[in-house]
Amino acid sequence: MKYRSLAVLSTLVLGAGLVGCSSSGDSSDDAGGGGGGRTSLDVWLMRDSVSAGFQQMFETGFEKAHPDIDVKIQIQEWEGIGEKVTAALASNDAPDVIEVGNTQVAQYAQSGGLTDFSDRVDELGGGDWIKGLAEPGRYDGKQYGIPYYAANRVVIYRTDLFEKAGVNAAEIKTRDQWLYASRKLNKGGAQGIYLPGQNWYALSGFVWDEGGDLAVESGGRWKGGLDSPEALRAMDFYRTLQALGKGPKDSDEAQPPQAEVMAKEQIAQIIAVPGGAKVVEEKNPELKGKLDFFPVPGKTAEQPGAVFTGGSDLIVPAVAKHQEEAFTFLRELTGDAWQKKLAVAMSYVPNKTTLASAVSGDPGTAAMAAGAANGHATPNTPEWAAVEAKNPVKEYMTAVLTGKDAATEAAKASKTITDTLNSGS
């Protein structure tokens, strides 16, 4: 399911621990009663969303600015969260604010159980939101999910192998330059790049770069897009790049974990979230200080390559008792001041493209933020989770990389996507 892939993405970015509940103060009063009591605001945030230090800092700052609101943050586990959120939305005792994976919003909005913030987007600075967070937060033309933070893949590379091959990473701005450099790196016992055959997130970026999509909607019906000319060009590029290393053609980046492979072998590059570099260094301390980052290159030098945007949005259940206080919480946590602090504390990409400079001092996060400006999300439909469960994209990629006709295999995979996305209509 989608939230599992987002959880893995976030976990790789982070190294900080979390507490299981809020340490906020007085919890006995509720503004629903008289006497000027404080409103008790219940918030669910996800494991690996905030560190204990940031959580305490935010609660203290928020309650100082809003002394009439007592924030109660509970940390939730990703495992089983879909069922838990669905049950909460259908109950009369839902929390006031819930963090969800950005591509989960559609499945919750479909039930009609979320508060619509379409008329308050401007108050939240929505004009600058990262597209890969904002778009999946919309459903049926309405904005239900408020962008919280983002994470995406970059190129992690070994500076020593680049130097040995005479490659300057700063000069790699286009996909053609990337291929040229990777060919130079793929010599002398070194792999130019380790790219598993089923890294469909990377392929998706190339598809978006070409102007295609994984699926498109027209007249209320979805159609798989892997057999479009744009997507076929993307697969051809993927095949060329993947051949410049020894990545397996029949597995993804998690089997085996690609960062661990990079730690053991002479691999010049991988495509991963920046936290993957920490894994490489942990597995091979000799590589400490020899890793750096750059955004996935685009078709032209004008902008980085398209990337899948992982991360989270914040939602408010329609049955939540404290709607205005919940909006105040959203406005603070997703506002510029706290977003800058969150980005620095957690090595996240802030929710607005205008805030990228906040992470300029962290090379990995800075590369991630540069790529996030061209971030995208998977097709915005509740049925996409069923596509990922079958994952015809992975099967298609392996088929092409092992010599089968790309157009034929793309048509098969596109039909599976089409049938799956329209199964509920």
Residue-level pLDDT at 268: 98
Residue-level pLDDT at 37: 83
Q: What is the pLDDT of residues 207-243, one digit of tens each?
A: 999 999 999 999 999 999 999 999 999 999 999 999 9
Q: Collapsing DSSP states into helix, strand and coil, what is residue 85?
A: helix
Residue 36's pLDDT band (cuts 50, 70, 90): low
Residues pairing with 203 in the sheet:
none
Stronger pLDDT, 49 or 211, i.e. the higher one: 211
Name residues whose C-beta falls within 8 Å of residue 362's C-beta, 6 or more positions apart in sequence. Answer: 344, 347
Residue 111's pLDDT band (cuts 50, 70, 90): confident
Residue 48's pLDDT band (cuts 50, 70, 90): confident
Residue-level pLDDT at 374: 95
Query: Quick check: 13 pLDDT over 60?
Result: no
Share of the chain above pLDDT 70, in %: 91
Stronger pLDDT, 125 or 424, i.e. the higher one: 125
Query: Quick check: 67 pLDDT over 60?
Result: yes
User: Which whole number is the average pLDDT over 39-59?
Assistant: 95
Residue-level pLDDT at 12: 38
User: Which whole number is the average pLDDT over 83-105?
Assistant: 95
Could you list the beta-strand ranges (E) of 160-280.
215-218, 221-224, 269-272
Q: Which 8-state DSSP code applies to residue 267?
A: B
Lowest mean pLDDT among 6-15, 88-97, 258-267, 344-353: 6-15
Residue 295's pLDDT band (cuts 50, 70, 90): very high
Residue-level pLDDT at 425: 63
Name residues whose C-beta falls within 8 Å of residue 83's C-beta, 6 or more positions apart in sequence. Answer: none
User: Which whole number is the average pLDDT over 62-90?
Assistant: 95
Residue 381's pLDDT band (cuts 50, 70, 90): very high
Q: What is the pLDDT of residues 212-221, one digit of tens each?
A: 999 999 999 9
**Could you give the CA distance from residue 313 to residue 136 in angstroms, rounded to a whole number?**
9
Query: Quick check: 318 pLDDT over 50?
Result: yes
User: Which whole number is the average pLDDT over 171-198?
Assistant: 98
Q: Are 277 and 156 in contact (CB under 8 A)?
A: yes
**Could you give the CA distance from residue 246 to residue 267 in angstroms, rounded to a whole number?**
9
> Mean pLDDT, the chain, as a whole number?
91
Query: Quick check: 16 pLDDT over 60?
Result: no
Q: Which of 86, 39, 119, 69 is nearest to 321 (CA)?
A: 39
Query: Quick check: 28 pLDDT over 60?
Result: no
If one counts every other C-beta atom within 10 angstroms of the C-beta of residue 279, the result is: 18
**Could you give the CA distance from residue 404 to residue 394 in angstroms, rounded to a whole number?**
14
